[in-house]
């Protein structure tokens, strides 16, 4: 992620995950997209479509090794192979938070992960119970291995229209 950029914070218990805004096409509730289930297993769920664009649908909790993470929202990403990540609720768009050391249990190499000081969240205190004190930065382009990218390409097909990335406006700056 680039210094000074903005990120979308998404809950994926016990983590708060930061996704770079320039890659985000759209954020939707889980019920807003119909999932076409893939016959395989693991974190690849199948496909979702938003208009004419089909996305390979992945469970963010499964990718991060968090079994049973609750899916409440989809983040559609504009990548060479379009991805939809299902995770918990999207919390806010914020300036990129300061970095911190990655917990030893996580592999930065495996997922393109980084770590950040978790900012105050727009959640009631009881909903913050059990959250890690740090958040995870993900690099969606490094999140999947080469086999998973090939699986993504296969489930959505070889041709697709290009999505238009979303523009987030900061209400404080008009």
Distance CA 133, CA 131 (A): 6
- Whether the predicted pLDDT of 164 surpasses 60: no
Residue, of 172 and 69, whose pLDDT is higher: 69
Distance of alpha carbon 49 from alpha carbon 55, whole angstroms: 6
Instruction: For tokens 């939809």, name the residue.
Output: 84
Is residue 55 within 8 A of residue 48, CB to CB? The reply is yes
Q: How far is CA 62 from the centre of its chain?
A: 12
Cα–Cα distance, 142 to 130 (Å, whole number):
27
Contact 61, 12 (CB under 8 A): yes
- Given a cut of 70, whether residue 166 has pLDDT beyond it is no
138-147 residue pLDDT tens:
888 888 888 8
Upper half-sphere CA count for residue 160 (Cβ side, 13 Å)? 26
- Residues 33 and 9: their CA atoms lie apart, in Å, by 20
Q: What are the structure tokens assigned to 151, written together? A: 């699986």
Give the pLDDT score at 9.
93
SS3 content of the chain, % helix, strand, coil (to 5): 20, 35, 45
Percent of the chain with pLDDT over 90: 30
Q: 30 pLDDT exceeds 50?
A: yes
Decide if 149 contacts 29 (C-beta within 8 A). no
In terms of pLDDT, which residue wins out, 1 or 61? 61
How far apart, in whole angstroms, are the C-alpha atoms of residue 33 and residue 81? 18
State the chain's mean pLDDT as an integer: 81
Which of 29, 139, 135 is closest to 86 using CA atoms?
A: 29
Tell me the C-alpha distance between 128 and 131, whole Å.
6
What digits encode the pLDDT tens for the residues 36-55? 887 666 889 999 999 889 99
Calculate Rg over the CA atoms of the chain.
16
């Amino acid at each position: 992620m680039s210094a000074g950029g903005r990120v979308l914070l998404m809950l994926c218990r016990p983590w708060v995950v930061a996704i770079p805004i320039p890659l985000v096409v759209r954020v939707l509730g889980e019920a807003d997209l119909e999932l076409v289930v893939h016959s395989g297993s693991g974190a690849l769920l199948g496909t979702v479509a938003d208009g004419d664009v089909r996305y390979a649908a992945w469970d963010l909790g499964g990718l991060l090794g968090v079994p049973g993470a609750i899916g409440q929202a989809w983040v559609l990403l504009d990548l060479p192979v379009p991805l939809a990540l299902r995770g918990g609720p999207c919390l806010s768009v914020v300036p990129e938070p300061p970095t911190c050391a990655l917990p030893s249990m996580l592999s930065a190499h495996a997922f393109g992960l980084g770590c950040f000081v978790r900012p105050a969240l727009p959640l009631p205190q009881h909903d913050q119970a059990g959250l890690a004190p740090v958040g995870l930065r993900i690099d969606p382009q490094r999140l999947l291995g080469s086999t998973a990218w090939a699986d993504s390409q296969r489930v959505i097909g070889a041709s697709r229209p290009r999505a238009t990335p979303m523009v987030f406006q900061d209400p404080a700056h008009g």
